[in-house]
């Protein structure tokens, strides 16, 4: 698994596991637990969740999945914007820790920007880090101007920006991804296969057949070929996890990259950061 360096030099796998909409249906619980545990076995040890996902149900699921294996996992969770104040962030973090059944979160993110001043969120994050509740902190869904403001607000310790990025959402390539790369801050791509909406794309399927792969695997391989990007696709079954892991072994050639560029052209100018 290709390692991606955080700003302080610690490395994480380029391919992790997302959990959006997991933990919400008891009928899928055993399949989801097996998927997460298989992913860990396959080296996809970065697991992303959030207090928002199922009102904490996803965090509880992850807590069970990593039981007995906590030290093998790089755990990421996210706080609501309205909880990102100096008075509330510690309470959100403590609640997430209880649901995750752990004593620390490896990377704690502001889920998106709200009405709390970024300087106040930075202060609250740093307090959690000093208390040992979190090891790193970062943000999600912040565009370039937001990141500039974050830096000016004392946020130089920001470890990542988790963003919507895949071939159909290439706006970050214009300015945000170069800005992050210039500061050695990795991007974390959520919905890297556009929530499965590219599964039946005929041209991608034709390209995938040349590699003995599927369209989603080709899309995931395209995301992973970028330097400094961590992909966190969701997989709720063991088979899906194995398919995602296999995508990390696909090396796209120049013709394949050119085909994807033709199918999903890069914007010519600035596009506001999209989010789901």
Contact predicate 102/70, CB 8 Å: yes
DSSP H helices, the chain, are 29-41, 57-65, 89-100, 118-130, 144-152, 176-182, 202-210, 215-224, 238-247, 254-263
Residue 190 catalytic? no
| C-beta separation of 188 from 164 below 8 A | no
Active-site position among 53, 108, 165, 190: 53
What is the number of other CB atoms lying within 10 angstroms of the CB of residue 178?
12
With contact defined as beta carbons under 8 Å apart, do 78 and 106 qualify? no
DSSP secondary structure code for residue 166 in this structure: B
Name the residue among 10, 12, 16, 74 with its Cα closest to residue 192.
16
Closest CA to 229 of 39, 14, 19, 55: 14
Secondary structure of residue 8 in the 3-state scheme = coil
Distance between CA atoms of residues 98 and 117, nearest Å: 27
Q: Is 102 helix (H, G, I), strand (E, B) or coil?
A: coil
Residues annotated as part of the active site: 53
């Amino acid at each position: 698994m290709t390692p991606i360096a955080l700003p302080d030099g610690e490395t994480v796998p380029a391919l992790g596991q997302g959990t959006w909409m997991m933990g919400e249906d008891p009928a899928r619980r055993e399949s989801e637990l097996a998927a997460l545990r298989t992913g860990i076995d396959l080296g996809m040890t970065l697991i992303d969740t959030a207090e928002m996902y199922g009102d904490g149900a996803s965090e509880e699921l992850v807590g069970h999945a990593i039981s007995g294996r906590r030290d093998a996992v790089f755990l990421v969770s996210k706080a609501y914007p309205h909880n990102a104040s100096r008075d509330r962030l510690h309470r959100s973090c403590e609640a997430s820790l209880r649901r995750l059944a752990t004593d620390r979160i490896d990377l704690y993110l502001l889920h998106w920007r709200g009405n709390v001043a970024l300087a106040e969120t930075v202060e609250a994050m740093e307090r959690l880090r000093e208390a040992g509740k979190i090891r790193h902190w970062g943000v999600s869904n912040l565009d370039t101007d937001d990141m500039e403001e974050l830096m000016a607000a004392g946020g130089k310790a920001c470890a990542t920006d988790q963003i919507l990025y895949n071939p159909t959402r290439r706006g970050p390539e214009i300015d945000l991804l170069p800005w992050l790369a210039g500061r050695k801050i990795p991007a974390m791509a959520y919905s890297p296969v556009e929530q499965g909406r590219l599964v039946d794309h005929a041209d991608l399927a034709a390209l995938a057949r040349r590699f003995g792969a599927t369209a989603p695997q080709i899309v995931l391989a395209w995301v992973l070929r970028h330097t400094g990007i961590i992909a966190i696709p969701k997989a709720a079954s063991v088979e899906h996890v194995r398919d995602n892991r296999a995508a990390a072994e696909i090396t796209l050639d120049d013709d394949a990259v050119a085909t994807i560029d033709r199918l999903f052209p890069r914007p010519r100018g600035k596009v506001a950061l999209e989010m789901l």
